[in-house]
Amino acid sequence: MNPIHITKQQADKASNKLVVTARIFLMSFVSIALIAGLIALSIGLVWNSYLSIYRGVDISSLGKEPPQSTVFYDSQGEIITELTNARMEYMPLAQFSPTVLEAIVAVEDARFYEHQGVDLYGIARAFYHNWKSGDTVQGGSTITQQLAKTMLFSSEQTYSRKINEAVASIKIEKTYTKDQIMELYLNYIYFGEGAWGLERAAKSYFGKTALELDLSEAALLAGIPKSPTNYSPVKKPEQAKERRNLVLSLMAEQGKITAAERDAAISTELKLTEQSPLKIAKNPSYIDYVMQEAIQKYKLTEQQILSSGYQVYTTMVPKVQQAAEEVYGDSSLFPEDAGGLQSGVVLMQPQTGALMGIVGSRSPQQDFRAFNYATQIKRQPGSTLKPIIVYAPALSEGFGTRDRIHDVETDFGGAYKPANYGNKLHGWVTVEEALVQSYNIPAVALLKEIGIDKGIEFASKAGLPLEPEDRTLGIALGGMSTGTSPLAMAQAYTMFANNGNMAKAYAITKIVDRHGRLVGESQPVLEPMLDPNVAFTMTKMLEKVVNEGTGQSAQMDRPAAGKTGTTQLPDIPEFKDADGNQIDGSKDAWFVGYTPEIVAAIWLGYDKTNKDHYLTTTGGKYPAALFKEVVTRALLDEPIVDFAKPEAYAAVVGGGKKINGEQEAIMLAAAAKKKAQAEKQAELAKAVAASSKSDAKADATKANAKDTKDTKASSKDSSKDSSKDSSKDSSKDSNKGSSKDAAKSTTAADKASDSKKTDSSKQTASTSKASEPSKTQASTKPASSSTSKKDNDNKDTKNQTAIKPAIKPVSKTTNTANDSKKSTSTK
C-alpha cells in the first residue's frame, strides 16, 4: 500500500473525528444552555410566584390593637358588667413565666430563634413522613407558621395552604421581632376547653396567672396546642400527663432544665382547679338585649362589641332589674311547673320608653346569648290585645264606655261563632263591662262595628307585628298568626299610661369607643296614638280590670291598671280526653299592666306545649300575681301617686249606641215564630177534640131522629086504618088547616133559630183567637126544652155543618186564624 495513501486516510479520519467532537461539544453546550435556561426560567417562575404570594399576603391584622373588654353601665353610671370575647385575655410577654416560654419552644419549635419563619429541615422531615404514608399526616410548622395559620388562614392540611403559610411566615419574620411573634402566639393560640391564650388557660386549668405557673404546669400547658382535644387534662388526663412528660424530657435534652428538675416535675401529681362554666355576664337577659340593640340599631358586630373596648351606657334601673330577677328566681311563685315552664318579663318607663329591667328566662344558669323569652318569643297575646285592637280604636271612633253591646250567641259570618269563657252569655252589657270582664263576643261585635281595618291599622301603628292573614274578626281575641313578644306589648301599652303617646322602647343611651369618641346615642321617641281623654278613659277601664274584673290578682297598694290574656290549647286529638272532649287548659297566659311609673308585660308558658306540658291557669292568676310581685318590689319605698288626669279631662262616656242589636231582633222574631207555632198546635189539638165531640152528638141525633120517624109512621098507619071511612072528610079539612099553621110555626121557628145562629157565629168570629173552646162550646149548645124535636135536629145539623169546614181541612187552619185576626183588626 502506498504510504502516501495511508497518510491521507489517517488525515481524513482525524478530520472526521474532529468534526464529531465539535458536534458533540456543540450539542452539549446547547443542552447545558437549555437546561440552564430552563432552570433559570423555573427559578424565575418560582421567584415570581413567591413574590406574588408575598405581596398578596395581608398580615395587617397582627398589628391591630389587642382586644379589650367592653364595659356596660346602668342608668346611674355604675358598671353592670364587663364583656370580652371568650377567646383570650391579652397579656404582654413580660407577664408570662420564662419557664412557659422554654417549654413552648422545646416542644413546638426548637429552632425558633434560628430560622427566618420557615424551618427547611422541619419541612423536609414532614414531607418524608407524609410521602411514606401517602397522606398529609405530619406538619413541620414553626411557631411563626402556627401564628399565621391561627390568625390568617384556615387549619386545612394541604400543600397549597402550607406554601401560603410559609410565605406569610417569612413576611411576619421580616415585620416583627421574635419577642413580638412569641407574644402574639401565646395570646392567640388555643389551649382547649374554651380557653384561648395562655393567660386564660392558666386561670381555667390552675386558677392562677400565667406568670405563676410552675414547671410541671407550664409543661402540661405547652403540650396542649398540638392537639387540644387529645391532650385535654380535663377529658383525657392520662394522655395529658404523657404529653407533659414528653415536654419535660425535650426540655432536659435541650439543656433548658436538669434531669433532676425533669424527674421532680414528672412525679408531680396533676392538680386542676375545679372546673366551672364559662363566666356569664351579670344581668344576662338585659345585656343580651343591649347587644342585640347595638347590632340592629348601631350596626356593630358581636365580635366588635366583645373586643373593641366600648363603653355602653344603658337605661337599666338596678332596683327594678334586681326585683325581677329575685321573683324569677323564686320557684314558689311558679307552682304549676310540670317541667320546663318558662316566662319572660319586660319593665319600661312609660314616659320615655326606657327599658328598666328584663328577665328573659327562668333558667337558673343562662348561657351567653341564650334565647330571650321577654324579647324574642312570638306567641298569641290573647285578650291583652283587646284594648289595642278593639277598645282604644272604638273610643277614638266615637264610642263610649256606656254604649251597649249585645252579648248573645252570634254568627259573624263564615261559621265564626266565638264563645265567652265558660260559654256564658250576658245579654246587654256596656263597653266598659265587656272589657273589664273580658267578654269575647262583645269584643268581636265592637271590632266588626268600627271596621276591622281600623283595628288592624291602629295595632300596626302601635308596633305589633301583624300579617295579612291576621285580617279576620278573630284578631279581636288576640288570634295573631305569628304572635308577639312581651317587649312589643309593653311598648304598645305605654300609650295608655302616657296620655296617648306611645314611647318607643330602647335600652342604650350612648356608646363610646376606647378613645372616647361617640359611636351613637339615643333619645326618647314618642308616637302620638290617642287623644289624652281617650287614653285616660282607657286607663280608668283597665283600672277596673284590676279592681273588679279578671285581673284582681294584680291588685297592690298603689294604682294599677292592666289586662289579662289567655290562649286556648289547639283543637287537636292530642288535647282531647277519653270521651273526645277538649282538655280544660291553656297554651299561653299573659298580663300586661302598668302603674304611673312602670309598664310591665309578662308571658307564661312552655317552650313546646304538649299533652304533658300545658297550663292549667289563666292570665288573671299567675301572670297577674307575678306582675304584682315584681312591680311591688321594684317600687318599694317609692311614693304612691295616682294616674295623671289630662287637663280639662272629659270622659268618653257615650251611652246612646247599641252594638250587635240586630241579633236581638233576630232572636225576638225567632221567639215569636216559636210561640205562634206553639199556639197553632194548641188550637189544632182543641179543634180536633171539639170535632170529635160534635161528630158523636151528630150520630146520636141522627139515631134519635130515625126512631121518631119510625114511631110516627107506625101511628099514622094505625090511625088511617081505624078511621078511614068515618072521618075522611073531617080529617082532610083538619089536616089541611093544621098543616098550614104548622108550616107557619115552623117557618117562624127556623127564622128565630137562624137569627140566633147568626149572632152566635159573629160572636165566635170575634173571639176565635182568644178562646177557641168557647167557640166550640157555643156552637154545640143544646136548644131549650120548648123547642120541638125537629127543630133541635135541624139546629144540630146546621151547627155541625158550620163547624166541619173549619176543622177537617187542617192545612187551612193558619189562614183561618189570620183571617180572623184580619177581621178583628178591621173591626
Type of residue found at 708 = T
Reported as type and span, the H/E element at residue 73 is strand 70-73
Q: How far is CA 32 from CA 150, 263, 317, 387, in A?
A: 45, 60, 85, 96
Is the distance from CB of 205 to CB of 273 less than 8 angstroms? yes
Q: What are the helix (H) ranges across 332-451?
A: 386, 392-396, 431-436, 440-450
Q: Which residues contact 20 (CB under 8 A, 6 or more apart)?
A: none
Q: How many angstroms from the chain centroid is the CA of residue 26?
A: 90
Residue 130 CB neighbours (<10 A): 17
Q: Is 127 exposed, middle or buried (0-12, 13-18, 19+ CB in 10 A)?
A: middle
Rounded Cα distance between 81 and 257, Å, is 43
- Cα gap 103→216, rounded to integer Å: 10
Cα-trace Rg, the chain: 54
In the block, residue with C-alpha cell 160534635: 694
b (16+ CB within 10 A) / e for 626-654: bbbbbbbebbeeeeeeebeeeeeeeebeb
SS3 3: helix
Respond yes or no: is residue 738 known to be catalytic.
no
Using CA of residue 392, residue 394, residue 398, residue 404, what is the dihedral sign?
negative
Long-range CB pairs of 449-454, under 8 A, 24+ apart, other chains included: 449/394, 449/399, 449/659, 449/660, 450/390, 450/393, 450/394, 450/397, 450/399, 454/393, 454/397
Cα–Cα distance measured from residue 452 to residue 446, given in angstroms and rounded to the nearest whole number: 9
Cβ neighbours of residue 627 under 8 Å, at least 6 residues apart?
554, 562, 591, 593, 600, 602
728-766 and 789-807 helices, crossing angle to 10°: 30
What are φ and ψ of residue 543, in 5° steps? -65, -40
- Residue that the C-alpha cell 312591680 belongs to: 631
Catalytic residue (one of 89, 108, 165, 183): 108
* DSSP per-residue codes, 291-336: HHHHHHHH---HHHHHHB--EEEE---HHHHHHHHHHHT-GGG-TT
Q: Tell me whether residue 705 is exposed, middle or buried, using C-beta atoms within 10 angstroms of its C-beta: 0 to 12, 13 to 18, 19 or more.
A: middle
> Which one of 216, 285, 343, 383 is the catalytic residue?
383
Per-residue cell: 79: 358598671
Q: Element (H or E) spanning 517, and its range?
A: none
108 classed as catalytic: yes
Q: Of the candidates 399, 648, 428, which has an alpha carbon nearest to the alpha carbon of residue 541?
A: 399
Could you tell me the three cell numbers for 4?
502516501
| Interior angle at CA 280, CA 277 and CA 284, nearest 5 | 145
Q: Is 748 exposed, middle or buried, given 0-12, 13-18 or 19+ CB atoms closer than 10 A?
A: exposed
Torsion 594-362-388-292 (CA) sign: positive
Q: What are the catalytic residues?
A: 108, 383
